[in-house]
Amino acid sequence: MEYETVIGLETHCQLKTQSKMFCACANEFGADPNTNVCPVCLGMPGVLPVPNERALQLTALTGYLLNCEVPKFAKFDRKNYFYPDVCKDYQITQFDFPSTTTGHVDFEFEGGIERVRITRAHLEEDVGKNNHFDQHSGVDFNRAGVPLLEIVSEPDIRSADMAYEYLNALKDILIYGGVSDCDMEKGMVRCDVNISVRPKGATELGTKVEIKNMNTFSGVRRAINYEVPRQIETLESGGSLVQETRRWDDDAGITETMRSKEHAHDYRYFPEPDLMPLRPSEEWLAEVRTHIVELPLARKQRFVADYGIPEQDAEVFVGNVLLGDFFEKAVDGSKNAKAVANWVINNLQAQLTETETSVDDLKFGPEAIRELVEIIDGGTISSKGGQEVFSELFKNGGSPRAIVDAKGLTQVSDTGELEKWCQDAIEANPGPADDVRNGKENAINFLKGQVMKASRGKANPQLVGETLAKLLKD
Amino acid sequence: MMLHELTLNELTARLAAGEVSSREAMQACLDRIDAVDGSINAFMSIDRDDALGQADAADERLTKGTTHAEQPLLGVPISLKDIFCVKDQPANCSSKILGNFRSPYDGTVVQKLREAGAVIFGRVNMDEFAMGSSTENSAFGPTGNPWDAERVPGGSSGGCAAAVSAQECFGSIGTDTGGSIRQPAALCGCVGIKPTYGRVSRYGVVAFASSLDQVGPMGKTVRDTATLLGAIAGHDPRDSTSVPADVPDYAAGLEGDIKGVKLGLPKEYLGEGIDPEVRAAFEAAVKQYQSLGAEIEEVSLPHAEYGVATYYILATAEASANLARFDGIRYCDRVEGDDPFALYCNTRGAGFGEEVKRRIILGTYVLSSGYYDAYYIRAQKVRTLIKRDFDRALEKVDALITPTVPYTAFKAGEKTGDPLQMYLSDIYTISCNLAGTCGISVPCGFTNDPKLPVGLQLLGKPFGEQELLKIAHAYEQSTPWHNERAAL
């Protein structure tokens, strides 16, 4: 029998805020254990949470970036469970009225565009981190109270690879929006996978298994690639699956039972009485909307469509927003977008990397690249001369035309002068000249090089070729 | 007159005039405690050196010319219920579980009291985690009623009421979740006000039921509680549920007649179960109001009868989460176990008292999957109806007038075997918390034999503390009850 895999993801991302969700402690990775803590995020008796305005804004912004609705009413709830890393033994989260609902993420997958629907993205507080030593355990509460966005997808994902691409697209969007740094190394993104299989064509969903404890996207992919055959084999061999939570063991590369449905937690959600419901005003939402950015996929598609540049070039401009913005200004009014893109990617980007500087540090404006392309295309200088102009431009700024004038780089297209250089080259190199005459056409390149050398690069290469050919034929 | 017998406002007048010092006032309280607290057991701990040190600092400011207009409580010894977080001081909530816990911070009310110049001394007894109506649920032993030490002072702020009535302090700050200020004030014969929810910050108050808890003062007179309330009220950015409304000068707004003030008499409150002597005292109080020019009107609170049931669902639900943090991981007297779950069970099993456990279990139950809609959601709906009852009644009248408690102080041990009977002692006070509005209890007489105080409750409009205090003050000043002191 053929099976179909059904996957939904719950992705947790730490928001990029200065301070924690409900107190003023720093939201910072890597500090010594229990140094970014206060009575509030330690859950001391008598403390109360105060919501971080920035986190609320970033949550709404994420909603817009994920094409979600941002409801006019949302609230916080308590999720009750005892665990040493949960300082209050309840987590403040959003249960039935989350800050954003019903959106979608579009992304490229296997040559097409896929859409995964987003059920909701809700705001909650991160918990501390348990550390186990030889004889005892410790809890580091630095992470406790860091604002965390849980992005829940609909079960629209059909394969491990699709899950992987979805996660990368999601990550790019969050980084693009300035919502999260999504640094996997620092545990800023964590995933739970809900996965089931069913006979192809079936409409009912199969038994759902939740997999926890994957902290890389490739881990998610591996876990799914382990879990799907496991589920299919169980069914094929006449067994049945149980609804359960499984843990991914990254070292062993397997999933194993963590707890069954019977032992599932009853989280006893109820409205958080210490916090007022959220009722974002139209003005507040309008302010948030001013921070909406163009999404990576949309940008790529627009660059390809509007400028006619190859996808790979567009991807460079998606990956490096500053460079892409620079390109857009440079190409404005240009007849040769492809050449502008080449100069920006091959020369400018390379120089910036080499000198460890950024677009903001440049001594020239984007219009200089447009001008450079113009004078090359117009035959004023050769592309080799262009390199020299660009070097000068990068070093000291100025305009390409002025540099050409100052350096005397104007290309020589005067037939008399060209003929003299060509005649000299033929006479000085009778061997190669005979080769050409005897039909070895490639030998003409050597002669061309000699002419370029004699003209110190100023000779118009195309005319040099034509002139040499004419002289050698005569 | 002995120094400890002064009201708070009499004391500040004398402090201002330089007739007494704060140290003398503080010493008078300590002497009084030494003399009478052996039988009352209101105080659980006193840092005497710290108290006298604060008093000396207050005297220094008084000498330098700081006035009570600038610091209304300058030099006044005030006691605190054992539920407030004071930096480096214990906050046991009369529970064993917190062990040697010391708060790492000052709560907002404590900060405000300090800013007002108060000498904050002593932690007074309460029902464990404010759960109870008799202060018998204390891991540190029960508190006696100053009028009869065999009887309870009420609760949960029983220590506050007993300390004020026994004249061991000039005022005390308590909390009221379902009547915990007003009920003990009534049973001990002092004044206690529960402000509107959001009027006083809850930051630094160990939470029992977050949507119902409110901090309030207890004092010998209405004026004293007005002065205290003015000092502690106000918006606090650290408490999202505190309300950014102006705080009037309550003490300055007490005077004036109350002719034409409309008082609503809830018809549901005077049914069966009320002690005849309490009823008589209450009816006399109503007559007294009429003679002061107030108009009495019958009103209806049709959902009042569901108040206690609603309360015990919502309050316990919130408490089950609020008290989860007492788990032995970061603080509390830990009792080890083989795994975290065993550690929790051992720690909480050993640390919490019976009533606290009962309410945690009840609260956990009503929030459980499958029961949530039937209990918690339903109770929230009833709460909305109760609030609507109050809104409608208070549209027609300026305040509601009721007895505070259906009976007077009962004997210790009398109701401990029957939690339901104990819960019913809050029957008149509980709806006020569910509605979120303000309420005050003032003395309105005594029973004959034994002589025990009776309390009159007035319930005001949300953020209508000023009007409520004025109505209470007019009655108080026209009756002798507030001058009566327990013979100790």
Q: b/e per residue, A399-431, with b = 16+ CB within 10 A?
A: bbbebbeeeebebbeeeeebeebbeebbeeeee
Q: How many angstroms separate the Cα of B415 from the Cα of each of B112, B148, B161, B423, B447?
A: 37, 17, 20, 9, 20
Q: Please report the beta strands in B346-452, taking only residues with DSSP state E, as ranges in sequence order.
A: 399-403, 439-446
Whole-angstrom distance, CA of residue B250 vs CA of residue B234: 12
Which strand (E) or helix (H) includes residue B171? Answer: none
Say if A338 falls within a structural domain: yes
Residue B412 in this model has a pLDDT that exceeds 90: yes
**Count, residues in chain A:** 474
Whether the CB-CB separation of B122 and B46 falls below 8 Å is answered with yes
pLDDT digits (tens, 9 = 90+) for B183-241: 999 999 999 999 999 999 999 999 999 999 999 999 999 999 999 999 999 999 999 99
The structure tokens listed for B30 are 């300590």
The Cα angle at residue B392 between residues B391 and B398, in degrees rounded to 5: 75
The region of weakest confidence among A302-311, B148-157, B238-247, B353-362 is A302-311
By C-alpha distance, the chain A residue nearest B86 is A46
Q: Last residue of some domain: A234, A261, A289?
A: A289
What CA–CA distance (Å, rounded) separates B87 from B47? 13
Closest-CA distance of chain B to residue A61, Å: 23
The backbone torsions φ and ψ at residue B159, rounded to the nearest 5 degrees and listed phi first, read -65, -40
Name every residue whose Cβ is closer than 8 Å to that of residue A107 and which is 6 or more positions away in sequence. A113, A114, A116, A165, A166, A168, A169, A297
Distance from CA of B341 to the nearest CA of A (A): 8
Interface contact flag, A270 B93, Cβ < 8 Å:
no
Cβ neighbourhood burial of A112 (10 Å; 0-12, 13-18, 19+): exposed
Do A108 and A247 belong together in one domain?
yes
Interface test mutation site (partner B, options A25, A42, A44, A92, max chain B beta carbons within 10 A) = A44
Q: Give yes or no: residues A313 and A439 share one domain.
A: no
Which three-class secondary structure state does DSSP give residue A195? strand
Scanning every residue of chain B, which has its alpha carbon at the shortest distance from the alpha carbon of A80?
Answer: B321
For the beta sheet containing A77-80, the strands, ordered from the edge strand earlier in sequence to the opposite edge, are A90-93, A77-80, A270-271
The residue written with tokens 């589920």 in the block is: A231
Give the separation between CA B204 and CA A27, rounded to whole angstroms.
24
Q: Are A166 and A9 in contact (CB under 8 A)?
A: yes
Q: Between chains, do B325 and A274 touch, taking CB under 8 Å as contact?
A: no
Q: Do A117 and A205 sit in the same domain of this protein?
A: yes
Q: Which residues of chain A have pLDDT under 70?
A: 474
Q: Which stretches of chain A sit within 8 Å of chain B by CB?
A: 39, 42-51, 78, 80, 82-84, 87-90, 139, 266, 268-270, 273-276
Taking CB atoms and an 8 Å cutoff, what residues of chain A touch B129? Answer: none
- Show which residues of B are catalytic: 81, 156, 180
Q: Tell me: do A355 and A446 sit in the same domain.
A: no
* Closest by Cβ to A78, choosing from B238, B321, B364: B321
List Cβ neighbours of A275 (8 Å cut-off, separation of 6 or more). A49, A51, A75, A76, A92, B240, B241
The answer to whether residue A120 is domain-embedded is yes
Contact A47 B103 (CB under 8 A): no
Instruction: Give percent of chain B above pLDDT 70.
Output: 100
Q: Which of B57, B166, B171, B176 has the alpha carbon at shortest distance from B117?
A: B57
How near does any CA of chain B get to the CA of A3, in Å? Answer: 34
Could you give the CA distance from residue B1 to residue B7 in angstroms, rounded to a whole number? 11
CA-wise closest residue to B458 among B331, B334, B321, B288 = B288
Before A153, cis peptide (omega within 30)? no
Domain termination residue (choose one: A254, A289, A324): A289
Note whether B204 contacts A49, CB cutoff 8 Å.
Answer: no
pLDDT value at position A465? Answer: 84
Answer whether B241 sits within 8 Å of A276, measured CB to CB: yes
Residues A307/A329, Cβ–Cβ less than 8 Å: no
Q: How many structural domains are present in chain A?
A: 3
| ipTM confidence | 0.95
Same domain as A358, residue A325: yes
pLDDT tens sequence across B316-333: 999 999 999 999 999 999
The closest CB to that of A42, out of B211, B317, B330, belongs to: B330
B243, two tokens: 């309300």
Q: Which of A401, A436, A457 is the last residue of a domain?
A: A401
Distance from CA of A162 to the nearest CA of B (A): 35
The shortest C-alpha distance from A24 to chain B (Å) reads 11
The pLDDT of residue B422 is 84
Task: Provide the β-strand partners of residue B402.
Answer: B457
Q: Is the pLDDT of residue B19 over 90?
A: yes
CA distance B456 to B445: 9
Cα A305 from Cα A366, distance rounded (Å): 21
Measured between its terminal Cα atoms, the distance across chain A in Å is 78
Residues of B with CB under 8 A from a CB of A: 84-85, 91, 93, 98, 101, 103-105, 107, 202-207, 209-211, 237-241, 317-318, 320-321, 324-327, 329-331, 340-341, 344, 364, 367-369, 372, 376
Closest residue in B to A88 (Cα–Cα): B325
User: Tokens standing for A101?
Assistant: 């609902």
Question: Is residue A379 situated within a structural domain?
Answer: yes
Q: Tell if the CB–CB gap between A48 and B369 is shorter than 8 Å.
A: no
Give the closest-approach CA distance of A108 to chain B in angstroms: 41
The token pair that represents A94 in the structure block: 């959003």
Indicate whether A295 belongs to any domain: no
Partnered with residue A157 across adjacent β-strands are A7
Q: Quote the pLDDT of residue A410.
A: 75
Kindly write down the DSSP assignment for every residue of A136-166, as one continuous string: -EEEE-SSTT-EEEEEEE-S-B-SHHHHHHH
Residue A434 lies in a domain: yes
Q: What residues of A are in contact with residue B367 (Cβ under 8 Å)?
A: 80, 268-270
Q: Are residues A166 and A222 in the same domain?
A: yes
Residue B272's pLDDT band (cuts 50, 70, 90): confident
Q: Which single residue is written with the structure tokens 């052996």? A: B38
CB contact (8 A) between residue A268 and residue B344: no
Please, what are the domains in chain B? 7-257+466-483 (3.90.1300.10)
CATH number at residue A458: 1.10.10.410
When scoring A270, A272, A275, A279 by the number of chain B Cβ atoms within 10 A, the one with the most, hence best to mutate, is: A270
Q: Which two tokens stand for residue A138?
A: 């410790």
Kindly state whether residue A409 falls inside one of the protein's structural domains: no
- The CA–CA distances, whole Å, from B387 to A158, A276, A341, B303 equal 51, 18, 68, 9
Instruction: Let me know whether A445 and A329 are in one domain.
Output: no
Residue A31 shares a structural domain with residue A134: yes
Task: Check CB contact under 8 Å for B206 and A39.
Answer: no
Domain limits for position A391: 306-401
Same domain? For A21 and A101 the reply is yes
Q: Which residues contact B252 (CB under 8 A, 6 or more apart)?
A: none
Nearest Cβ partner of B210 from A39, A83, A274?
Answer: A274
Per-residue tokens: B131: 């759960």
CB contact under 8 A, B203 and A48: yes
- Are A271 and A350 in the same domain? no
Q: Following DSSP, what letter does each residue of A274-316 receive, concatenated?
A: TSPPB---HHHHHHHHTT----HHHHHHHHHHHH---HHHHHH
- Which chain B residue shows the shortest CA-CA distance from A34? B330
Check CB contact under 8 Å for A90 and B210.
Answer: no
Omega within 30 of 0 (cis) for the link into B77: no
| Candidate from B104, B326, B367 with C-beta closest to A270 | B367
> Does A410 fall in a domain?
no
How far is residue A374's CA from residue B326's CA, in Å, rounded to a whole number? Answer: 74
- Report the DSSP pairing between strands B439-446 and B399-403: unpaired
Tokens of residue B253, six digits: 């707004």
B312 pLDDT band (50/70/90 cuts)? very high
Q: How far is A47 from chain B (nearest CA, A)?
A: 6
**Residues B438/B460, Cβ–Cβ less than 8 Å:** yes
SS3 content of chain B, % helix, strand, coil (to 5): 45, 15, 45
A122 and A210: one domain? yes
Burial class (CB in 10 A: 0-12, 13-18, 19+), B137: buried
Element (H, E) at A59: helix A53-65
Alpha carbons A464 and A2: distance in angstroms, whole number? 67
pLDDT value, residue B278: 95
- Cα nearest neighbour of B98 on chain A: A45
Determine the Cα–Cα distance for residues A104 and A61; give it in Å rounded to an integer: 14
B47-70 pLDDT per residue, tens: 999 999 999 999 999 999 999 999
- Same domain, yes or no, for A142 and A28? yes
Per-residue pLDDT, B23: 98
**A323 within domain boundaries:** yes
Nearest of B367, B364, B386 to residue B376 by alpha carbon? B367
Q: What is the mean pLDDT of chain B?
A: 96
